[in-house]
Structure 1
Amino acid sequence: MFQIANAAKIVQNDNLSTIPTNQQLINNNQQLFTCNMRNATIIVIGDIGHSPRTCNQAFSLASHGLKVNIVGYLNSKPHPKIINHENIRISPISQPPSFLSNNNQILRFLLLPLKFIWIFFILGIALIRICKNDGKDKNNLLLLQNPPGIPTIFVCYIVAKLKGMFFLIDWHNYTFSMFGKSSISQLIAGFEGFCGRLSDLNLCVSNTMKNDLLKRWNINSTVLYDRPPSWFFRSIASEKCEFLNKFLAEKESELQNLFFTESPEGAITLREDRPLIMVSSTSWTPDEDFSILLSALQGYNEYSQSDKGYLLPKLLVIITGKGPQKQLYLEKISTIPWHNVFILTDWLKAEDYPKILSCADIGVCLHASTSGFDLPMKVVDMFGSKLPVLAKRFPAIPELVKDGVNGILFDKAEELELAIIRISEKFPKNEVLNELKSNVGKDFKCWEENWEDIVWPMLND
């Protein structure tokens, strides 16, 4: 069993004095509630390092003194605040063999039962070993991030019954929606709905999903919107300049002169005529159609060279993430004659991601939900860094991105191109962009505040 557990004090974000610290929130709630729970096991059948909501749940529970064990795949390193917390352990489990995730759709469906069997036994054995057994008083919590829910929900239900644990499902999306409209999708939907009703409590990420869970499967749930943790909030100007200068020096040193000027005293400041920084985090999969952004950037590049584009700044586009289509698009990017657009594709450490968001001027989200009901965490992170977002439209997204208020919604590449032009002209004195920035974060709680208001009281009810 692999374990990461180092004792460490939690360093609070002191950039924004108005944000209550996690300990202040805990102290306030402990006056109202007494929790009998001692341990929590959190399951995600995915990469723990790329499951921010799961990590945030673990952090909040651990900060209340519960001993938390996160079970999942460890493909990347989680944030230091997670791996260094004295009450958090990480227990990796083995992923299914690669041949079970065949790219051929027919073979993938044929091999699906084997993949389910693998997960059933690997996860079941791990949970039986890890989960504490205090009898039948439900003093311990078993929390599952769904999807994928097949056979995960059923495995967790069995273990919760055997160990006398309180079983909570956190619905991010639907498992069946990941299989399109195939016949197997209908079978999975039936099983997912049946298993979903076995839990003691349900959380979900949007009001749209809450209504659908009730209508579709008669599952009552409570909405816990994703929010960035307090350490995601925007850096002060000096930290921003320092990190951006270091980042550009490592990645593309010739761009430094476009962003910074040095005074006779040696002070480095941002130039007024600097490029606009755009950030997008993508999984490089068909679910996030990168061709939309690429086409929009090509259009911007051409327009900026025309007589009408003289008011447009240069663009620095920073794209983070890993995925199967990355190399394909990198090759396409390299063949385009860029003039006023610079594109950097990089993989960032967890602790550097909020820093680069803090340096940016606008975010782009290409997420197109398979169900239409989930909300992208990347937008939440951007909002936490006071960054307005250009987001692809789908049914639930207006719950998060208010068109024309804290971002702009688009459907096609042409609409995205027009939105980029609209927020770029006369940068950094663009009135539209500055208005969007001023609206981001209004009445926007951090994760800790939101969790303390919604989840902690539920666990003590």
Structure 2
Amino acid sequence: MFNEKFSQTFELVLFGVIVLIAIFSILLLTLPSQYDPYKDRVPKYVDEDGKETKLDDEDEKKNPAFKPGRTVQVVVLGDIGRSPRMQYHAISIAKHGGRVYLIGYEDSEIHPKILSNPLIKIVPLVPAPSSLRSSSKLLFPVLAPLKALWQARSLYRALCYRTEPARWMLVQNPPSIPTLAIATIVCFIRNTSLVIDWHNFGYSILALKLGPNHPLVKISALYENVFSRIASNHFTVTNAMARVLKSQYGVTALPLHDRPAALFRPISSQERAGFLARLPETAQYAQDLSPSAKTPWKLLVSSTSWTADEDFSIFLDALSAYSAYATSKTQLPNIIVVITGKGPLKEHYLAKIQALKQEKKLLNVIIRTAWLTPEDYALLLGAADLGVSLHTSSSGVDLPMKVVDMFGAGLPVVGWGKFEAWPELVKENVNGKGFESSEQLLQQLVELFENKDGLLATLKNGALKESEARWDDEWDRVGGKLFKLV
């Protein structure tokens, strides 16, 4: 009896060992290949259908500056088209002979220089089902983990099996979950160096939705802290953010300030007139916007993702107050406001705008919303009289890219300035002004458009001066050296 039981136990143990060996062997055989600098020559790309392509000989000839051993995975767990900084990274890497796998969602138009460059391959992520993308705060604790699991699978597959191993992986943060964890695991498996590009802190954005004391916010902060220490290198968008990373996370980061791409530039008066006449949102008011008009109207532009960190009610309150003020002050011009962008709160604010119109609180203000091509958006900035930023900064140490683009077009800016990093970008009364309330924004609009002391012209000159600072110079100095491309 004892021998029989022993024999059965032994068989079960042996079977278990064989199963474990089989599983281990399968995992070992299916692990993605590791980075080998001697094989970093011809990039491969596998689409969702499993079809494989690679850079052919003709493409190699078109890029004689290609530098072997300079492959980078550029990762954004978001819409590539709405991630200009990560697109600029990809363009700069390829410009200097590096190969790029640009990984993210393809929800909107991508920069033409990316689409035309054979050294850049876009690896699209599969979006989560719509059922997991609800904006409900009540369902968030349930849907967020499920969405994160979906994203983790999609991202892991793209990084491990749809691209060749890379020497570096450049990851946008936030979103932090699950990006940093998956990126860390993949970099360990594939012998890749992880570089985090800090645009903000993920936990601070989550706090806007759940509150700063929510357990998930505290877990997110700890998660970000832990994984930041594992990365090889770091970029930040501001000096202030680099100081926070050093003091709170114990990591050293290289500030790489956002700068405008060549697409954003000052335009001539002829270009301005032609553009305003053809843009649907401004065409019928083109004559009123002309400098030759008796009282030229002013064109304001604001771009937004329509999210919680941009409180557009401040802008709307200031505009309705301006409209009332301009009714009695006839020397004040009418205003046309073009707001560009897509996002979850757009319908909410469109309803508020419609209500203000019905209450006749926007008699001297016209508001239009638009979704423009990158080229038309750049021309709109060049044609406008004033840019407006409602970015409030959840962390206090990030900066709005939209202001950088406005300066690139020589457009002066007024923006929410109640956070630490604001002075790194905007010089008060030189190229822009910061406000901290709708009342202060109203005062600024009146002051600028009454043309007292020519302040708007002064800010315009300051913005034109600022437009001389360009992305290529900043990137070459910081990013180019880290990736050993310059």
The normalised TM-score by structure 1 is 0.85
The 1-side partners of 2:193 and 2:268 are apart by 42
Match of 2:402 in 1: 378
Alignment of 1:417 with 2:442, yes or no, is: yes
Larger deviation, residues 97-106 vs 166-175: 97-106
Question: Which amino acid in structure 1 is aligned with residue 353 of structure 2?
Answer: I
Match of 1:256 in 2: 286
Match of 2:457 in 1: 434
How many angstroms does 1:270 deviate by? 5.1
Alignment of 1:151 with 2:151, yes or no, is: no
The 2-side partners of 1:388 and 1:141 are apart by 37
Question: Which amino acid in structure 2 is aligned with residue 258 of structure 1?
Answer: D
The 2-side partners of 1:51 and 1:4 are apart by 25
Match of 2:139 in 1: 107
Higher alpha-carbon Rg: 2
How many angstroms does 1:252 deviate by? 5.0
Larger deviation, residues 291-300 vs 181-190: 181-190
Percent identity between the two aligned chains: 37
How many angstroms does 1:237 deviate by? 2.5
Q: 1:382 to 1:5 in 2, by over 3 A?
A: farther
Larger deviation, residues 314-323 vs 235-244: 235-244
Q: How does 1:28-177 map to 2 (within 5 A)?
A: 37-133=69-165, 140-177=167-204
The 1-side partners of 2:406 and 2:205 are apart by 25
Match of 1:407 in 2: 432
Q: 1:287 to 1:85 in 2, by over 3 A?
A: same
Match of 1:342 in 2: 366
Q: 1:252 to 1:397 in 2, by over 3 A?
A: closer
Match of 2:305 in 1: 283
Q: 1:272 to 1:354 in 2, by over 3 A?
A: farther
Match of 1:136 in 2: none
Q: Which sections of structure 2, spanning at least 5 residues, go unmatched?
A: 1-46, 57-63
Q: State the number of aligned residues.
A: 418
Match of 1:231 in 2: 263
Match of 2:220 in 1: 188
1:305 equivalent among 327, 340, 349: 327
Residue pair 1:207, 1:223 contacting (<8 A) in 2 also: yes
The 2-side partners of 1:204 and 1:120 are apart by 24
Give SS of 1:210's match.
helix
How many angstroms does 1:322 deviate by? 1.4
Match of 2:274 in 1: 242
Alignment of 1:317 with 2:344, yes or no, is: no
Residues 139-193 of structure 1 deviation map (CA, whole Å, 9 limit, x = unaligned): 6221101111122112112212222222211010111112211111111111111
Alignment of 1:198 with 2:219, yes or no, is: no
Match of 2:35 in 1: none
Give SS of 1:339's match.
coil
Alignment of 1:218 with 2:245, yes or no, is: no
How many angstroms does 1:35 deviate by? 6.1
Match of 2:477 in 1: 453
How many angstroms does 1:4 deviate by? 12
The 1-side partners of 2:218 and 2:471 are apart by 35
Higher relative contact order (CA 8 A, sep 6+): 1
The normalised TM-score by structure 2 is 0.81
Match of 2:39 in 1: none
Residue pair 2:266, 2:464 contacting (<8 A) in 1 also: no
Residues 302-358 of structure 1 deviation map (CA, whole Å, 9 limit, x = unaligned): 10111xx12211111111111222223223323322332111111111221111000
Give SS of 1:106's match.
coil
Match of 2:383 in 1: 359
Q: 1:152 to 1:253 in 2, by over 3 A?
A: closer
Residue pair 1:166, 1:200 contacting (<8 A) in 2 also: yes
Give SS of 2:433's match.
strand
Residues 65-110 of structure 1 deviation map (CA, whole Å, 9 limit, x = unaligned): 2221111111101122222222222111112223323333232112
The 1-side partners of 2:316 and 2:55 are apart by 43
> Cα RMSD (Å) of the superposition?
2.4
Q: 1:326 to 1:106 in 2, by over 3 A?
A: closer
The 2-side partners of 1:382 and 1:298 are apart by 24
The 1-side partners of 2:453 and 2:55 are apart by 47
The 2-side partners of 1:207 and 1:287 are apart by 21
Q: Which sections of structure 1, spanning at least 5 residues, go unmatched?
A: 8-26, 134-138, 261-268
Give SS of 1:231's match.
coil
How many angstroms does 1:197 deviate by? 1.1
Question: Which amino acid in structure 2 is aligned with residue 126 of structure 1?
Answer: A
Match of 1:12 in 2: none
Give SS of 1:328's match.
helix
Match of 2:296 in 1: 274
Larger deviation, residues 414-423 vs 181-190: 181-190
How many angstroms does 1:201 deviate by? 0.8
1:387 equivalent among 398, 408, 411: 411
Q: 1:6 to 1:51 in 2, by over 3 A?
A: farther
Question: Which amino acid in structure 1 is aligned with residue 187 of structure 2?
Answer: A
Residue pair 1:5, 1:85 contacting (<8 A) in 2 also: no
How many angstroms does 1:413 deviate by? 0.6
How many angstroms does 1:230 deviate by? 1.7
Q: 1:144 to 1:153 in 2, by over 3 A?
A: same
Residues 18-43 of structure 1 deviation map (CA, whole Å, 9 limit, x = unaligned): xxxxxxxxx9xx9xxx9653321111
